[in-house]
């Protein structure tokens, strides 16, 4: 596998947000989003859905996001970038590349 520059490819500033559920006595469950981290990442478009599944017309754009490993990455967290909100659908950690995390994200409507 060819060695490629990692740090130089992290050119997009993104924010990582996580949902915090809080129970209140009178109102039940409240959902709040909390900013966890600001980081640099590489963002690459992955399309909008598989044509064989007939999802290309209604699906939101998907992105592959690569960033440095951090303890805060989790499924269903949000990445916010240039006014867009993307939810993390899949996290991949390659044992051959332990310094980075690969996220498969989907833009929210």
Q: Which domains does the chain have, with CATH numbers?
A: 7-107 (2.40.10.270)
The residue with tokens 């963002």 is: 43
Residue 27 has pLDDT above 90, yes or no: no
Mean pLDDT of 94-98: 85
pTM of the model: 0.77
pLDDT tens across 34-72, in order?
999 999 999 999 877 655 555 555 678 899 999 988 778
Closest Cα to residue 85, out of 10, 9, 34, 16? Answer: 16
The residue with tokens 């017309």 is: 57
Residue 24 has pLDDT above 80, yes or no: no
Q: 68 or 23: whose pLDDT is higher?
A: 68
């Amino acid at each position: 596998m060819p060695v490629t520059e990692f740090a130089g490819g992290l050119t997009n500033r993104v924010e990582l947000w996580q949902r915090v559920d809080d129970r209140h006595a009178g109102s039940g469950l409240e959902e709040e989003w909390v900013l966890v981290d600001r980081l640099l990442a590489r963002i690459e478009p992955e399309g909008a859905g598989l044509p064989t599944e007939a999802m290309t017309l209604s699906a939101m754009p998907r992105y592959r996001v690569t960033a440095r490993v951090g303890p805060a990455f989790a499924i269903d967290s949000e990445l916010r970038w240039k006014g867009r909100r993307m939810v993390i659908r899949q996290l991949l950690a390659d044992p051959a590349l332990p310094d980075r995390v690969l996220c498969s994200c989907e833009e929210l409507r």
